[in-house]
Amino acid sequence: MGLLDLFRRTPPTASLAKERLRIIVAQERSSRGAPDYLPLLRREVLEVIRKYVNVDPEAVQISVEKEDGQEVLEFSVALPEKAAG
């Protein structure tokens, strides 16, 4: 350990933890009670889309929403800026 290390502080990470948790907890809460097949469905949809467009795994979002007593399966795919695959 060099002398300089004594003055070097690790950056505070608590706010990072909070931000990451806020996002993942919200995401997990929204998928709670959703059908068990959803993760598999998401994976297969992603594979099909990737045959045509090279999208990021995070670009495919699936959720089940309840609207007026009806369940709506919602897909959202964010295409990359250069969509030609």
Among 12, 36, 48, 70, binds another protein (CB under 8 A): 12
Among 4, 6, 29, 51, binds another protein (CB under 8 A): 29
**Residue 17 is a binding residue for another protein (CB under 8 A):** yes
**Residue 6 is a binding residue for another protein (CB under 8 A):** no
Q: 64 and 38 in contact (C-beta within 8 Å)?
A: yes
Among 5, 28, 47, 81, binds another protein (CB under 8 A): 28
Q: Cα–Cα distance between 54 and 43 in angstroms, integer?
A: 14
**Residue 30 is a binding residue for another protein (CB under 8 A):** no
Nearer CB in complex with another protein: 34/53: 34
**Residue 13 is a binding residue for another protein (CB under 8 A):** yes
Nearest to 21, CA basis, from 12, 11, 10, 13: 13
Q: Cα–Cα distance between 67 and 72 in angstroms, integer?
A: 7
Q: Cα–Cα distance between 59 and 23 in angstroms, integer?
A: 15
